[in-house]
């Protein structure tokens, strides 16, 4: 079975109705997780810490979706 890696990260947004960060250099990388449940728990913990700040958002990126394990090289590997 292939790993299903997930990245949890967040930061302050310019506008709470959009997904553009105020300062990309200030993005908080929570970590990489081997399954969605672990990523969700980490996301929830960080999101709850910042619940009073409407501009703070945390996200879960499905890293495993960036790779096509059936292909000899993935689209991201071709860029490098």
CA distances from 20 to 50, 51, 74, 76 (A): 17, 18, 27, 23
Residue 42 to residue 8: CA distance in whole angstroms: 7
DSSP 42: H
Q: CA nearest 27: which of 44, 42, 52, 8?
A: 8
- The 10s digit of each residue's pLDDT in 31-60 is 999 999 999 999 999 999 999 999 999 999
Domain boundaries, the chain: 6-25+32-69
pTM, two decimal places? 0.78
Task: Work out the pLDDT band at 80, boundaries 50, 70, 90.
Answer: very low
Measured in whole angstroms, how far is the alpha carbon of residue 45 from the centre of its chain? 14
CATH topology of domain 6-25+32-69: Alpha-Beta Plaits (3.30.70)
């Amino acid at each position: 079975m292939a790993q299903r890696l997930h990245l949890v990260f967040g930061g302050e947004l310019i506008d709470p109705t959009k997904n553009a960060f105020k300062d990309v250099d200030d993005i908080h990388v929570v970590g990489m997780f081997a399954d969605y449940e672990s990523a969700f728990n980490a996301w929830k913990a960080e999101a709850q810490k910042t619940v009073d700040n409407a501009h703070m958002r945390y996200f879960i990126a499905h890293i495993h979706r960036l790779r096509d394990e059936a292909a000899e090289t993935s689209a991201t590997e071709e860029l490098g």
